[in-house]
């Protein structure tokens, strides 16, 4: 084959350039792929097996033993008046994010003694700030209505936790009122885009 002739000193400097290019341009890629391969293989054979129950998020909160609140959970299941988290949702509008929580009593308390329950959210903490607004929900005796709380959050803020007091009033004077203070840690809150 006839090659385009090159002056010899040009092809000499060219030779060095090509050598460097081959070392850097192909050598580094080959190294990267070898590292990747060995990383994959060793994590497959020697890495920690991921366990199905081991949710990374629950690991962090497990430290404080605070249950994560998720949609579908039942709150205060240890009382006469447990509450179901019917909806837990972030609605995303261009200028604000709304955190919506809908609660409803799970059943009518079978002991006719309860006069109802009052739930007070004392604050709501997001990643960057704490909204110190009291929000109160009240269910009087025998209603099963759903109640909703909405917080308006600055865009980009997700709810993290809240301080809540739960007060149920009983008719029997022996126990009077039951006060529980709890700390809610929110788990995954599904987000919905709104126009």
**Positions in the binding site for another protein (CB under 8 A):** 1-4, 11, 14-15, 17-18, 21-22, 24-26, 28-29, 32-33, 36, 39-40, 42-43, 47, 56-57, 127, 158, 160, 188
Minimum separation from the CB atom of position 111 to another protein (A): 39
Minimum separation from the CB atom of position 142 to another protein (A): 38
Task: Give the integer Cα–Cα distance in Å for 72 and 61.
Answer: 19
Q: Which is nearer to another protein, 118 or 158 (CB)?
A: 158
Beta bridge partners, 165, equal 120, 181
Whether the Cβ atoms of residue 85 and residue 71 lie closer than 8 Å to each other: yes
Q: Which is nearer to another protein, 81 or 151 (CB)?
A: 151
Minimum separation from the CB atom of position 101 to another protein (A): 16
Residue 123, C-beta contacts closer than 8 angstroms, at least 6 positions apart: 130, 131, 132, 133, 162, 163
Q: Which DSSP letter does residue 25 get?
A: I
Nearest CA-CA partner of 163 in 130, 116, 128:
130
- DSSP letter string, 97-144: EEEEEEEEESS--SSTTEEEEEEEEEEEEESS-EE---EEEEEETT--
Task: Give the integer Cα–Cα distance in Å for 142 and 105.
Answer: 9
Minimum separation from the CB atom of position 152 to another protein (A): 18
Minimum separation from the CB atom of position 33 to another protein (A): 7
Q: Which is nearer to another protein, 109 or 159 (CB)?
A: 159
Q: What's the N-to-C CA distance of the chain in angstroms?
A: 67
Q: Which is nearer to another protein, 111 or 188 (CB)?
A: 188
Q: Which is nearer to another protein, 10 or 173 (CB)?
A: 10
Q: Which is nearer to another protein, 47 or 154 (CB)?
A: 47
Indicate the helix (H) or strand (E) that contains 14: helix 8-21
Minimum separation from the CB atom of position 157 to another protein (A): 9
């Amino acid at each position: 084959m006839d090659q385009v002739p090159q002056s010899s000193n040009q092809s000499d400097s060219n030779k060095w350039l090509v050598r460097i290019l081959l070392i850097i341009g192909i050598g580094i890629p080959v190294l990267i792929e070898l590292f990747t391969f060995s990383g994959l293989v060793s994590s497959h054979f020697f890495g920690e097996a991921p366990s199905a129950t081991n949710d990374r998020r629950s690991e962090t909160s497990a430290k404080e033993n605070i249950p994560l609140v998720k949609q579908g959970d039942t709150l205060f299941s240890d009382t006469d008046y447990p509450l179901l988290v019917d909806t837990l949702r972030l609605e995303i509008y261009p200028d604000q994010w709304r955190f919506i929580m809908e609660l409803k009593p799970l059943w009518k308390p079978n002991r006719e003694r309860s006069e109802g329950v009052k739930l007070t959210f004392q604050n709501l903490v997001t990643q960057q700030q704490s909204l110190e607004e009291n929000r109160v929900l009240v269910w009087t005796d025998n209603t099963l209505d759903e109640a909703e709380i909405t917080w308006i959050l600055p865009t980009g803020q997700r709810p993290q936790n809240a301080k809540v007091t739960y007060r149920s009033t009983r008719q029997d004077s022996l126990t009077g009122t039951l006060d529980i203070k709890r700390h809610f840690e929110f788990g995954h809150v599904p987000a919905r885009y709104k126009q």
